[in-house]
Structure formats: structure tokens, C-alpha cells
Amino acid sequence: MKIQCFGDSVTFGEIDIDNGGWVDQLKRSYIKRQACLTRQDISVYNLGIAGETTDGLCIRFEIELKARIKKGLRSLVMFAYGANDIVIHKNKNIVPVEYFIKNLKQCIQNAKANDCEILLIGLTPIDDSIDGVANQHDKLRYGNDIKKYNSALEDLAKETESLFLDIYDEFNLNNKPSLLSSDGLHPNSAGHRVIYRMVKQWLRDEINL
């Protein structure tokens, strides 16, 4: 199976200096499991780009996807977006929720046309200290927008017969501040470990990997 993980800095693994982020942990787990095999049957690709929105995803998605799919081999595409789409610019989200969903739907349709399975990964929460407060890069985010975009993602998963993984509630149930870095936005090493475990469990339950 080919697993392609598209996303922003959280997917890329920014801040997690210990383990490189949840995608790289996933990649290493399958490499270790298959170390004794003569041929590896699972490949994980980290296609996260720091600062990217779903507008950027649409520009590169088809080329990136087709470069890594192989006829006769199952393919899974994960989308983990929203942290940059929700940023407020001129009193509105950089990528309003309706365009956020339109962008993802376009990519999902493309992936399904290439016989890929789809997982939509929800946004992680932000720390209360930065809710509605501009950061050092003058980027402003609201916690309520995270809830709105997550709800839209869940609806999109149902509409497109894709699957949705809720990260938000897991962070809130497990002492959210302890899972976020000092910037209040990115998961720290412990937070990435939580995401990794959730994705790995989902792959066991839904894909039998």
C-alpha cells in the first residue's frame, strides 16, 4: 500500500524535534515492522508543507498523487488541513470554509478517480492563550473556527464516502496544554505521539495494516 499524507506544518512535523512528527513516526513504524521482509509492501510519504492552505494543495495535488500511485497496489490519501485556512485576513478566513470544502472535494474526486481510499484528519485545537490573539507573525486564529471547519470536514467525509478522524476531542480529553508547543498552535512531541497512535489505530481497524 502507498500512503500519501498531504497537509501543512503539523503533517510536516514542525516543532517535534524528538521524533520528526506523526507522519515520520508512522513511516518508521512500518519500516521497522517490515525490516525482516525481502520486499516492503507499505510506503508512507510525508507531503506536508509548512504554511500551506488547501488553495496550495489544489495546485500541486494531481502531480504529487500520480507520481506515487502504482497500478495494482492499494493507495490511501490522507488530508490534514485547516490550520492556515482559518487564519483571519481582512476580517475573514484566508480560505473561507465553503472554499476549503470545495478545494478538498476537488482533490478527493481526483484521488477517487485514481482508485485511492481517503482519510480526512481533523484540525487540532489551539491553546486558549492564542484564541483570538495575533501571534508574532500577525496571524490570528479563533477556536470556534476550528470547530466549524472540523464539522464541515465531517460532513464532507459523509458526502464523499470518505472517512474522518477526530483529533480535536482527543486533545481536549488528554490535557490539551500538555500536548501543544509553546506557540500554542503546533503539537509538541507528546501531541504528535497522540496523533500517530490515533492514525496507526485507525489503519489497523479500517485498513487492516
161, with CB counted inside 10 A (0-12, 13-18, 19+), is exposed
pLDDT of residue 41: 83
Q: How far apart are CA 80 and CA 50, in angstroms?
A: 12
Distance between CA atoms of 15 and 169, rounded to whole angstroms?
21
> Which pLDDT band, with edges at 50, 70 and 90, does 31 fall under?
confident
Domain boundaries, the chain: 2-207
Given a cut of 70, whether residue 20 has pLDDT beyond it is yes
- Tell me the pTM: 0.95
Report CA-CA distances (Å) from 59 to 19, 62, 142, 157: 29, 8, 26, 21
For residues 85 and 81, give the distance between their C-alpha atoms in angstroms, rounded to a whole number.
Answer: 8
Tell me if the domain spanning 2-207 has CATH number 3.40.50.1110: yes
pLDDT tens for 130-149 read 999 998 888 999 999 999 99
